[in-house]
Chain A
């Protein structure tokens, strides 16, 4: 990706009146029109709204007002982020045609920073999936190889950035849904600390795990996006009451203690592990002290995640009852209407997770599954805390393999779930983590190196990510 397509470069050019935001957005819309028929990154392109927003940015600049750090930057939004008056479907039939009556806080903050929202991106239905094949509308293809999935669930956002349609996009990450598609498509993907970014207006999947974050072409743009969308929001009671983390991209890695985490390297494909070890070498060359560490509790995370996340989802998705918004299928009474609506509106993976979660919460199984998952979560947090007494950051793979083929795992839910094995620990702990492109596998497809940090240590995380980015060039 050239620096001319980075959000930082575009915003600088627009603020300096070297480029008009109106021209920047026309270029983005033209690229989408030309390329997205095959890729399927977008579910909705908001061309008229985008043109109007770009003109407002140009007027502000002409009047001597600063539109903000994202002046005129085209941004794509995952379709589970509420946009007032603009379709928000979560790639589900049950929300077909819904136009929210309000903007998510992150959307309000993007607009206030001068960003131009160009559309809503495809995803696995209700963010449940790892390939974007669970979209009820259509699959998205990987821009690096159209026979491969882009990952998921934020596959549309990752593809839109990787294809160069937009320099930056937002996704959401409940078990890896930002980092995994970023790795598969060769973009940067940041999951912030739980509570660092407001979830107000994010359609809920698993509320104690969900977090909004950026997918970008560069680490610097991820830092800028976090500064814009982060910080306290009274509308989200789980929002941390402190300012957005301030990125420190030039801090380097000198003296940094990095733990190469065996559980995030040993089980992955050999070509992916080779790149992760090369990333460790790059950090060491920049002055970091790299040592191998082992956190055996990470081996429990995937099972705990697939008990906890569906349990929370089964509760959150009870709201789709055909009464207040979205689809309604008639029935003789309310219960029959609820059943008809949900049966027609939800796709197979969403039904599977609602069933799994309802089971894990049901009488006789709650202690064995749901409460047990919560106890594992406690042990995982304690294990991370112990590890971070000896190191500042952890390094591992983002995914166990490079992007797999479309159709390869759709009939095998467990195989699909296994692609989240390296990413779910950060969600259980509520910690930040980032995937940075670091070379390619034997198939020529991108590999993501994942850095993990303790809560609210995004500045440290982003500084090390910038070192990896420079080394990968």
Chain B
């Protein structure tokens, strides 16, 4: 059985999703996740197959829009305390490795 009549999840798709999610998976993990994610999607097949045309999606349980507050200066987090939690810091900034394709 496949979800909502769609083809079953393939190992290649799982490998592609891992790239999107910035995770490196072993061959064993790829096999296991392909099987387990397919199980969960199969379980969702009945819901995926429901005819819900015209139903407005709910992103959020509260009817909220444009929650605003006055734009007033207020104390914020202490910079040294924040930087103190970072793995690597230089000159009061977060330090990261080279970003490919950008000038240093």
**With the chains together, A442 CA to B23 CA distance in Å?**
44
Indicate which residue in B40, B61, B87 contacts A417 across the interface (CB closer than 8 Å). Answer: B40
Number of chain B residues close to chain A: CB under 8 A: 54
Main secondary structure of the interface of B (DSSP, over half): loop
Give A343 to B25 CA distance when docked, in angstroms.
Answer: 8
Q: Which of B18, B57, B82 lies in contact with A378, CB distance below 8 A?
A: B57
Contact A378 B64 (CB under 8 A): no
Determine which of A334, A348, A355 lies in contact with B14 in the assembled complex, contact meaning CB atoms within 8 Å.
A355
Is B20 in contact with chain A by the CB < 8 A criterion?
yes
**Residues B7-32 near A (CB distance < 8 A):** 9, 13-14, 17-18, 20-25, 29
Q: Does B52 interact with chain A (Cβ within 8 Å)? A: yes
Chain A CB within 10 Å — which of B14, B18, B41, B94 has the most? B41
Residues of A335-366 at the interface with B, using a CB-CB cut-off of 8 Å, are 335-340, 342-343, 346, 348, 351-352, 354-356, 358-359, 362
Asked if B99 contacts A372 (CB within 8 A), the reply is: no
- Say how far B68's CB is from chain A's closest CB, in angstroms: 9
Residue A184 CB within 8 A of the other chain? no
Give the CA-CA distance A397 to B34 in the complex, in Å: 33
Within the assembled complex, what's the spacing in Å between the Cα atoms of A102 and B82?
A: 9
Residues in A neighbouring B85, C-beta threshold 8 A: 98-101, 324-326
Residue of B nearest to A371 (CB): B57
* Cα separation A338 to B84 with both chains bound (whole Å): 20
Contact A322 B52 (CB under 8 A): no
Could you tell me the distance between the alpha carbons of A242 and B52 in the complex, rounded to whole angstroms? 34
Residue numbers in B under 8 Å from A100 (CB-CB): 85
A340–B47 CB distance below 8 A: no
In the complex, the answer to whether A303 meets B62 with C-beta atoms within 8 Å is no
A330 to B94 CA separation, bound complex (whole angstroms): 14
A10 within 8 A of B: no
**B48 in contact with A369 (CB, 8 Å):** yes
Task: Give the dominant DSSP class at A's interface.
Answer: helix
CA distance A358 to B14 in the complex (A): 10
A337-B96, A368-B3, A372-B52 given as contacts; is B87 within 8 A of A303 (CB)? no
Knowing A238-B62, A334-B98, A362-B17 touch, does A378 contact B55 (C-beta < 8 A)?
yes
Per a CB cutoff under 8 Å, which of B4, B21, B47 touches A300? B47
Instruction: List the B side residues contacting A348 at CB < 8 Å.
Output: 29
* Contact call A101/B78, Cβ cutoff below 8 A: yes
Q: How far is the CB of A191 from chain B (nearest CB, A)?
A: 12
A306 is an interface residue with CB less than 8 A from chain B: yes
A-B contact pairs, 5 of them (CB 8 A): A343-B23, A343-B25, A369-B41, A375-B52, A428-B61
Chain B positions near chain A (C-beta within 8 angstroms): 3-4, 6, 9, 13-14, 17-18, 20-25, 29, 33, 36-37, 39-41, 43-44, 46-48, 50, 52, 55-62, 64, 67, 69, 77-78, 81-82, 84-88, 94, 96-100
